């Protein structure tokens, strides 16, 4: 199996497992789903660091955008808690 296929299969498995576990636990907050999937993406992307440089650049840019979204949702939750 090529590295690209392994990367896609790993992402699909990680996202599926994450979403199934969150659904069975009764989670209904969309931010929790986003953050859990963001962490899963970052873990899978780090474990597949042997992609070619062009693909690795794309994965890194997408990872940076997802990490920025993670920080924004975290800051919004902190702001919500501080308002209470």
* Chain mean pLDDT for the chain: 93
* More confident: 3 or 28: 28
> Domain boundaries in the chain?
3-83
Residue 14 pLDDT greater than 90, yes or no: yes
* Contacts with 9 (C-beta within 8 Å, 6 or more apart), sequence order: 1
Whole-model pTM: value is 0.87
d(CA 52, CA 32): 32
Largest alpha-carbon pair distance within the chain? Answer: 51
- The pLDDT of 11-38, averaged and rounded, is 95
Residue closest to 35 by CA, chosen among 19, 50, 12: 19
* Contacts with 16 (C-beta within 8 Å, 6 or more apart), sequence order: none
């Amino acid at each position: 199996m090529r590295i690209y296929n392994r990367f896609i299969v790993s992402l699909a498995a990680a996202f599926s497992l994450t979403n199934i576990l969150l659904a069975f636990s009764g989670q209904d907050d969309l931010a929790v789903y986003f953050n859990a999937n963001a962490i899963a993406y970052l873990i899978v992307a780090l474990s597949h660091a042997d992609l070619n440089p062009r693909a690795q650049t794309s994965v890194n840019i997408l990872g940076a955008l997802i990490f920025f979204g993670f920080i924004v949702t975290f800051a919004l939750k902190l702001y919500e808690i501080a308002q209470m």
